[in-house]
Structure 1
């Protein structure tokens, strides 16, 4: 029995698959077993045509391909190459070694790419179970960004067979992920960013308090809720925040590219974080992921590492808003179905925008609000206290004034974010302030007696929960980082408390 290696997706992670082949006596047949989906079972015709087009003659035997483990559901046309190579090497007596093969076959034996190759191989690389692979030549430009793997590109099935039979492999190199972008270096690790701001904070006039909160939220990845009249600039601020986010490490850029492919886009490999803004009419499955037989990734998973923006927040269904509490707290989401259970990373910055009342004129100084107290209470009660407890920064935005002027650019804000990011890394933090655990809060957010007395008074006066206290401390830590201070002071803590919704 001969075997080669391939892989398939299980949720958002890849699982290795052994492609095994035997040719036994019996009526001539070609069978693929091992919970293969339609794309794999249809590969029999592609494999037959590719082999016959390249001068191979099928033996009058019973040919069986087994995809192990047999209890794992497999899918994808990238199994074509490994299946065809095993059949063609049926009579080969030499050792072919443990090779990973990925590629879809054309009827003439040409090897083409599959959209899932990049996320599958990246997942295998992150698990440390792949060191070399044979892949389509056309995929090398994307796949070569994945470090610590030696790739051998092929154009045809014949190239693949020659490579497997060869005693000496062609010269190639193990690629490392390096990018041509501006970067900062800490502990020999590069963190990349670019200073391109297609949407600039200079476009926003006034709203200094909201701009300050956007800077704090971006620097520490803190959840932000903006409340204000229509046209006050809530969406403008949210859309500009993605351009002032902290720099990305090599692996984070690769993960962002993986999410782009899972969404159906061509990967860009730029230090740009994702920005997801689902409509308030979106279903729970589209936002959180789901599916009857296979849990597909949703908006929450696609926003990992970036921003998830909910405009018109109270208009989202109550079910969606309450289900959002888990990823806001735990920074991952678990999708459970009868056939599958999948956990997605969901470490994103949540930004919500809402009007102060159904008509939107409650804060207006020139327009009268048409809403009754009952309508306003019903509108705001769609956001429960447990949900609001997970919001770090709450800002009320005033109406637009003719005297409002531009004050700060995205370039200036981004520079402050990078400086705060570097201070967090120099403290030895693996996560940004917004994602600190309780043990890390005790380590990185110590308070002296005077500052501790303020937080004690706030607990009694505002009825802060343990979660709220932790979030206030993390926001205060970020404010101190922005100001360049080593310790959290009174001014930092008081500003952090001012952002709590009461």
Structure 2
């Protein structure tokens, strides 16, 4: 046959639209033309495919070859189309059968030797293939990742020759098995942290309701250590959350099977740009906020970040999504993360320290704190001070409470929320707050007093109610009492 058609997948944000690879062989001077809006990596497939076909002991047709990647208006990038292009050429020249092409999709980058290399976005492609009801053939290094998506028949191959033998009925392909799919995630333990009982309690409340948190304290008080252990007390990921988080990480090629069902923890340096934080580029890729989807984004030394960079967090903190718009395309990425931030109380770091004297002037302290805008602070639910450890706390030999014990209480509180409203407390809308966060007369009086004294905004008012609901859930209470509300208000005093 002079024409062959092979199906594959491109990447467009979180989507993996279908791409039809068409190869046509015609008489004339030998040439290899690639059309269909290919980018540089795809155009270079001509040389990779030619060498791979020859090294696999097939004949590269000395004819006029035209390969079309449809639809023509969808940009094609990366080397994922090498394998389908090679198979289409071999089928069009009659060297391999095309019987299995209708019910199979192929993707993979070819080495010059004909070996197959891994591709980005294998999980996103698998999820798209599931809706199409087709078999997916990928490089063996990517097949295990795609196999995490239930309901998708995935096969792995190590070389072009292996795929051709399978198409000809003369061999079999690897059926991937994920050995780490059921392994329990391993997190650092809260038992390693000495003292800081109040801070641990605030982290427990944040974990229970999915709230954002800011810790302010002198150097060496354990802020970074506590943040690193925070994912270990979050509720266990369900399959949908695990698939979403893994699919986003797969788009950057950063997913590993050993990270399956492990809450992401991203800690970008304070020199990160706005594009690195929210995503972007000519072919938009997810940024740190999306890579932390269903996990934790830790911003250490918060005032050292550029103010322009921090301001891009305001919308995703509210919506849980980020849309990257470019002249030719638009990509939408999920970004439902928990923000955990840390900062010093002043430039030198020792304001309020029991033994070290602060050497900063009031004006320097005001400028330092002013690097974080009021609207961003208003969106951070919990703002607490982390005091320096006393000598007795530092020298004590006894270990603190283990993460497993804290996670048990957090899981119980989160289960109550899912049964009551189907979402964490942090995601409650205005009408849902009115429904699930009702107060008695004593609590209402306390909240009115707090609004007047702390000058709380409407957003802060709603966040206090959601915090109080999380405190009540941890206590196993169906109603919010003045005790629960008082603790929630205490967590907002940092905004005053």
TM over 0.5: yes
> How far apart, CA to CA, are the structure 1 residues paired with 2:68 and 2:37?
9
2:117 to 113, 117, 124: 113
- Once the two structures are TM-superposed, the CA of residue 349 in structure 1 deviates from its matched residue by 0.9
Seen in structure 2, the aligned counterparts of structure 1 residues 58 and 172 have a Cα distance that, compared at 3 Å, is closer
2:104 is the alignment partner of 1:99 = yes
CA contact (8 A) 1:150 1:172 kept: no
For 1:65, what is the secondary structure of its paired residue? Answer: strand
CA contact (8 A) 1:124 1:130 kept: no
Q: Which residue of 1 aligns with 2:19?
A: 17
> How far apart, CA to CA, are the structure 2 residues paired with 1:469 and 1:55?
71
> How far apart, CA to CA, are the structure 1 residues paired with 2:174 and 2:276?
42
Q: Structure 1, residues 223-261: CA drift from partner, whole Å, max 9, x if none?
A: 111111222222221111121111101232234434444
Q: Which residue of 2 aligns with 1:427?
A: 420
1:469 to 454, 461, 466: 461
> How far apart, CA to CA, are the structure 1 residues paired with 2:74 and 2:483?
56
Q: How does 1:64-213 map to 2 (within 5 A)?
A: 64-90=66-92, 95=99, 96-110=101-115, 112-125=116-129, 128-164=131-167, 179-181=181-183, 194=185, 196-198=186-188, 200-213=189-202
> How far apart, CA to CA, are the structure 1 residues paired with 2:357 and 2:141?
62
Q: Which residue of 1 aligns with 2:273?
A: 283
Q: Which residue of 1 aligns with 2:410?
A: 417
- Once the two structures are TM-superposed, the CA of residue 496 in structure 1 deviates from its matched residue by 0.8
2:268 is the alignment partner of 1:271 = no
Q: Which residue of 1 aligns with 2:323?
A: 334
User: Which deviates more, 432-441 or 480-489?
Assistant: 432-441
For 1:31, what is the secondary structure of its paired residue? Answer: strand
> How far apart, CA to CA, are the structure 2 residues paired with 1:173 and 1:54?
22
Seen in structure 2, the aligned counterparts of structure 1 residues 441 and 4 have a Cα distance that, compared at 3 Å, is farther
For 1:496, what is the secondary structure of its paired residue? Answer: helix
Q: Structure 1, residues 429-475: CA drift from partner, whole Å, max 9, x if none?
A: 1x322222334333433334543444344334433222112211211
CA contact (8 A) 1:77 1:114 kept: no
Q: Which residue of 2 aligns with 1:5?
A: 7
- Once the two structures are TM-superposed, the CA of residue 24 in structure 1 deviates from its matched residue by 3.3
Q: Which residue of 2 aligns with 1:371?
A: 360
Seen in structure 2, the aligned counterparts of structure 1 residues 58 and 284 have a Cα distance that, compared at 3 Å, is closer
Q: Which residue of 2 aligns with 1:184?
A: none
2:234 is the alignment partner of 1:245 = yes
> How far apart, CA to CA, are the structure 1 residues paired with 2:178 and 2:358?
59
Q: Which residue of 1 aligns with 2:309?
A: 320
Structure 2 unmatched ranges of 5 or more: none
> How far apart, CA to CA, are the structure 2 residues paired with 1:347 and 1:117?
20
CA contact (8 A) 1:102 1:117 kept: no
Structure 1 unmatched ranges of 5 or more: 182-192
2:292 to 275, 279, 303: 303
- Once the two structures are TM-superposed, the CA of residue 322 in structure 1 deviates from its matched residue by 1.7
> How far apart, CA to CA, are the structure 2 residues paired with 1:354 and 1:278?
14
CA contact (8 A) 1:4 1:100 kept: yes
CA contact (8 A) 2:79 2:108 kept: yes
CA contact (8 A) 1:294 1:339 kept: no
- Once the two structures are TM-superposed, the CA of residue 72 in structure 1 deviates from its matched residue by 1.3
- Once the two structures are TM-superposed, the CA of residue 34 in structure 1 deviates from its matched residue by 0.8
- Once the two structures are TM-superposed, the CA of residue 336 in structure 1 deviates from its matched residue by 2.7
CA contact (8 A) 1:146 1:177 kept: no
- Once the two structures are TM-superposed, the CA of residue 119 in structure 1 deviates from its matched residue by 3.8
- Once the two structures are TM-superposed, the CA of residue 65 in structure 1 deviates from its matched residue by 0.9
Q: Which residue of 1 aligns with 2:387?
A: 398
> How far apart, CA to CA, are the structure 1 residues paired with 2:141 and 2:310?
43
Q: Which residue of 2 aligns with 1:351?
A: 340
CA contact (8 A) 2:49 2:112 kept: yes
RMSD: 2.9
Seen in structure 2, the aligned counterparts of structure 1 residues 216 and 146 have a Cα distance that, compared at 3 Å, is same
